[in-house]
Every structure is written in structure tokens, then in C-alpha cells.
Amino acid sequence: MLVFDVFPKVNIFLKIIGINEAKYHLLDSRFCLARGELKDIIAIKTSDFFSLKGDFDCPLHQNTIYLAVMELQKFLESKNLSAQPLKQIAIEVEKKIPCGAGLGGGSADAGNVLFFLNQKFFNLSNEDLCFIAKRVGADVPFFVMQCASANVYEIGDRVEKFEEKNLEFEILTPNIYCNTKQVYHQYDKTKAKKTLLSYSYQKFAKMPSCDILKIYDRKQLNDLLIPALELYPALRDFEESLGDEWFFSGSGSSFFRLRK
């Protein structure tokens, strides 16, 4: 049996730099793994047939873990490799990372399942694994690469490991579901592109996360905060109650700070 913890990510910064031909927003971001009490726990054991259980917020065929297993199977079969182990596993998820919270919980589950299944059964290259991960979802490659910290580009599928000391975070997630698609739409609608921060890729890509958080505030660092506050009045009320040391992750609704 395989049993492993799955931790969320936080975005130290998230800057939208354009839109591609497929109308996806292009971004520059720093992802950091937030190791702590908030985590999912996944168990994988052998079985007579494939099954997936957990408290999910979507139909099985839309679940990121299911999609990851299907894409892995498709890749193996395209290379004339046996995918039989995937047809004889039972996956059970103890879900604690909230959805609609900007923490990448679904991507984290999918990426870690790909990583550990590959370790156990297939021994594919990192390049192959990242190819599969990109087909599952934009943020999945970060979790497949098992990075503590990384600069992430384009639609979130280009990942460059960033070496820095491990950081500890506190995370606050209000009982507010932020719809990622709607937050990006609001960003376009209100032209929130006029950011408060003159962004420099060369500068941010090399700067340690703790230094970034010391120098800039949450509205400067995350281009999706203002659109999210405009969409969700309750989130605005929550944000106004927080001190300056709290920062916004992804499209929300979670805030985080460095653990004191």
C-alpha cells in the first residue's frame, strides 16, 4: 500500500502578462509548497479493479486524480507499455484542502498520484511525467516535480525549480468559494491589468520569497486580488480585517503569511 501526504501551494506573487491564442491568461508566478497541518492524505492499494473514493466536489470523470490516471494510461499505451497496474488499484482520498481556495488542491492530488504511481510501477522520465501532467491541468507539473519552490510561467505549466530555504506558512481560508474562471473574467472586465506594481520578471525570478513578502503588499503581488474582492463582497470584508502581513493565494479565497 502507498500512503502519502499532499500539501497545498501558495502564490508568493501572481502577475498576468498576457493572453495566448487559446484565450488562456499567461502568468508569471512563484509557487511555494505549504507543508503543515492542512493536507490531503491519499492511500493507494492493489485491487481487483480500479476505484477512486473521496469527498469530491465534481463527478468522477472530471476529478483531477481520475484524469491523471487516464492520461497516464493513454501515454503508456501509446508507448506500447503495460498499463495493467492502473486497472488494479483502489485510490482513497481524505480531503482536507478546500476547493475554490487558491491552494491548488485538485492539482496537488493529481500531481502526487502521478509521481507516486510512476515511482512504484513505471519509472518514466521526468520529461514524460511532466508531459502527462500538462495534459491533466495547468498547475499539475509543479506538484509532479516535487518542488518546494518554483517559478511558474505561461498558463502555469512551465516550471523552473527555485532554490531557497524552506518556508513555513499559516493559511486562512474563509468560507467563500472563489470561482477561478469568474475571477479571471472580472480581471479582464475591469482592466485590473493596471497593476500597482511595476513588474520585472528578471527581478522577481531571482528574489527569495521572504524578501518579496517583506517589500511588497498583497495588492501589488497578486493581480487577481482586486477582481476577487469586486466579485465577492464577503471576501472584501474578510480581507479588510487582516493585517498587512497576510497575502492572497491564486484566485482565492485563501490568505497566507509567513509563520512567526
Q: Fill in the amino acid letter for 52.
A: L
Predicted TM-score (pTM) of the model is 0.94
What's residue 194's pLDDT? 54
pLDDT band at 182 (very low <50, low <70, confident <90, very high): very high
Q: Using 50, 70 and 90 to split pLDDT, how confident is the model at 60?
A: confident
> How confident is the model over 6-43, as pLDDT tens digits?
999 999 999 998 888 888 899 999 999 999 999 999 99
- Across 189-216, average pLDDT: 80
CB neighbour list of residue 55: distance below 8 Å, 6 or more residues apart: 93, 95
User: Residue by residue, what is the 3-state secondary structure of 147-185?
Assistant: CCEEEEEECCCEEEECCCCCCCEEEECCCCCCCHHHHHH
Q: How confident is the model at residue 193 (pLDDT cuts 50, 70, 90)?
A: low
Beta bridge partners of 258: 169
What average pLDDT does the segment 180-191 reach? 90
Give the H/E segment covering residue 45: strand 40-46
Decide: helix, strand or coil at residue 6: strand
233 torsion bin: left (phi>0), alpha (psi -120 to 50), beta (else): alpha
Secondary structure class of 19 (helix, strand, coil): strand
**Which residues are annotated as catalytic?**
9, 139
Over pLDDT 70: what percentage of the chain?
A: 96
Helices (H) and strands (E) in the chain — how many of each?
A: 10, 11
The pLDDT assigned to 161 comes to 97
Q: Check whether 78 has a pLDDT greater than 90.
A: yes
Domains along the chain with CATH numbers: 2-161 (3.30.230.10), 169-258 (3.30.70.890)
